Structure formats: structure tokens, C-alpha cells
Amino acid sequence: MALPRIAEGEIVTPTFKSTAFHCPRCGVYAPQEWAQLHYNVRVDYEEWTPTASNGWISTCQHCDRDAYWVEGFWMVDGTPQITARMVEPQQTLTGPRPHTDMPDDVRADYEEARAIVSASPRGACALLRFALQTLLQNHLGQQGKDPNAAIKALVAAGLPVETQQALDVLRVVGNNAVHPLEMDLRDDTETATALFAVINFIVQDRIAQPKKLKGLFDALPQGARDAIAKRDATT
């Protein structure tokens, strides 16, 4: 089964009868198969007939584990509607997985933010700001504690405009989360989860991409690298 395409860092929350979402068991974006639960009803002394219930099972095609749903009247935005709700496991929202090249000290705050974003989007934003400070100070050569000064220095060093915008989004929203009295904060889950993608974007641009390019260069024959070094020394 072909998966519907999603944007990098996007989280597809489980919804009733969706063909694909991020599995609440394994966390992988994967196809889902659905089956309605049935129970037997006795029609006479020796005969039973299967009857559909209001219970459903979604089975993840990646981990082969089940989630259980109950169909009925549920309150949706204050209005009773006929729909189904996941009852096992209890549905929780988590942020996107960290970039594989994310440094461990940055990953620590990132993972903590993932764990609490459902219960406290504002707290997740604050943790992401701490992750940004660690990224700036420990891995992007900015030892000052002021994120504004650190970002300004990175721009002067040739930081791409897209990365600058990503850093500013994370810094401003995260800082407002720490100091909620200074400015209104859109402390919804949509805002918080978007910031996870921002962190991953920064890691991709500032750490992963240079690492990949260095690996390609290091794989060149020694003679070719010596020729490049000689060329650069004379220019």
C-alpha cells in the first residue's frame, strides 16, 4: 500500500478509518488496516449469529500491533457527534522524532519536549528554546548566552536566510513560552509541534549537511585532495 505523502516533520495523528497515520504503538508513519469487532448472538438453542459491535481495531502494518476504538456519540468541540475514539492506547500527541545527527545534549531537551507537548505545549516551547541555546553555544560556535547576539553573529558568517528565520521563530516563540506575561503566546499544540520541525531543520542545515559534504570530500582520492589544497593555497 502506497503511503500518502506528508511534509518532513509532519505528525499525522490517528483518526477513525484513516488509511495511514503515526502509529500510537511504535510511532512510525505507516498504513493501517481496519476491522470491526463482532460478537455472537444466540438465535435459537443451537444456532449463533455474528453481530457487528461498535468496537473497531486498527492494525499498524509496520509493527503489527493493534489500537482499539469505540464508535458512538462523543463530544467534539462541545458538540455531540457520531464518531469513534481510540480507547487503547490512550491517544497522546508527540513531536517528530529528532534528526539522526542531532547532538545528544540538544536531543535531551528535544526528547523531553516531545514527551510533554500533549499535556503542556507551552512547556514544550520553553524546552525547545533551551535546546536552541545548547545548539548555539555548544555546536554552532556561539558562546554568548544572548540568542539575539548569537543569531546576528551567524548571519554575519553567512547563515542562510531560511535558517535565520527558523532560528528566530524558535527563539521568539520559545522565549514567550518562558515569559508568558510579556506577550500573548499561541500555546496550542499546532504551534508547539511546528517548532520541532524548526529544530530539525536547523540541525539539517548547520550540522548534517556540512557533515555529508565533508564525507564526500574525504572520500576523494588523496591526489585530488592535494590538488585542491594546492589550488586554494595559490588563490
What are the pLDDT tens digits along the chain (235 aa)? 678 888 766 778 888 899 999 888 888 889 999 999 988 877 777 777 778 888 999 999 999 999 999 988 766 656 777 778 888 887 665 677 888 899 999 999 998 998 888 778 888 888 988 898 899 899 988 877 677 788 878 888 887 877 777 777 777 766 666 554 343 455 567 777 778 888 888 898 889 988 988 888 888 888 888 888 888 777 5
Instruction: Give residue 107's pLDDT.
Output: 94
**Residue length of the chain:** 235
Contact of 173 with 160, CB cutoff 8 Å:
no
Task: Judge contact between 131 and 110, C-beta under 8 A.
Answer: yes
Instruction: Please say whether the beta carbons of 206 and 140 come within 8 A.
Output: yes
Cα–Cα separations (whole angstroms), residue 231 to 105, 113, 220, 224: 38, 47, 15, 11
Instruction: Report pLDDT for 57.
Output: 94
Q: Which residues contact 113 (CB under 8 A, 6 or more apart)?
A: 95, 123, 124, 125, 127, 128, 131, 192, 196
Task: Give the 3-state secondary structure of residue 180.
Answer: coil
pTM: 0.59
* Helical (H) or strand (E) element with 194: helix 189-203
Residue 69: phi, psi to the nearest 5?
Answer: -125, 150
Cα 25 to Cα 15: distance, rounded to the nearest angstrom: 14
| pLDDT score at 108 | 94
Instruction: Please tell me the predicted confidence (pLDDT) of residue 31.
Output: 94
- What is the structure's pLDDT at 180? 42
Q: What is the b/e burial string over 212-233, where b = at least 16 CB atoms within 10 angstroms of the residue's CB?
A: eeeeeeeeeeeeeeeeeeeeee
The pLDDT score that the predictor gives to residue 103 is 96
Domains contained in the chain, CATH given? 20-88 (no CATH), 104-218 (1.20.120)
User: pLDDT digit string (tens) for 208-217?
Assistant: 988 988 888 8
The pLDDT of residue 77: 58
56-75 burial, b at 16+ Cβ within 10 Å, e below that, comes to: bebbbeeeeebbebbbeeee
| DSSP structure class, residue 100 | T
pLDDT of residue 183: 38
Closest CA to 58 of 117, 5, 106, 13: 13
